[in-house]
Amino acid sequence: MTAERSIEVHALHWRGVDFEITFERDWLSIVREHDLAASHLTVTTLQPKRAPLPITETGYRSQFLHAIDVDAAGGPVAYVEAWLRAMGQSLEWLAYEQNRRQLSLF
């Protein structure tokens, strides 16, 4: 008998990009103490489609983590927002944003 999967789906808009967050608290359907079972979080950009984010160059990110970490951040949306804020300050991302705004003749 297969356990029923429970996947949360959330929408988020960040710096001109619309994307979807999915979070499956118990990815392997193995209940463990202290929420240390493997959880699965995905981020997929929708508009513009496959637009890069500081956490993914391709517009898609799959991350396995512990639900306790997501809960500590305030849930899947808050976790991703904090992740974006942190990675959005990297020199690589700031350069990407600057280049994206810069007009090119070639």
The single residue listed with the structure tokens 């396995």 is 64
What residues does each domain of the chain span?
7-101
Per-residue pLDDT reduced to its tens digit, 75-85 = 999 999 999 99
pLDDT at 97: 86
Kindly report the pTM of this predicted structure: 0.85
What gap in Å lies between CA 65 and CA 6, rounded to an integer? 16
What gap in Å lies between CA 65 and CA 71, rounded to an integer? 11
Contact between residue 43 and residue 20 where contact means Cβ atoms under 8 Å apart = yes
Per-residue pLDDT reduced to its tens digit, 45-74 = 999 999 999 999 999 999 999 899 999 999
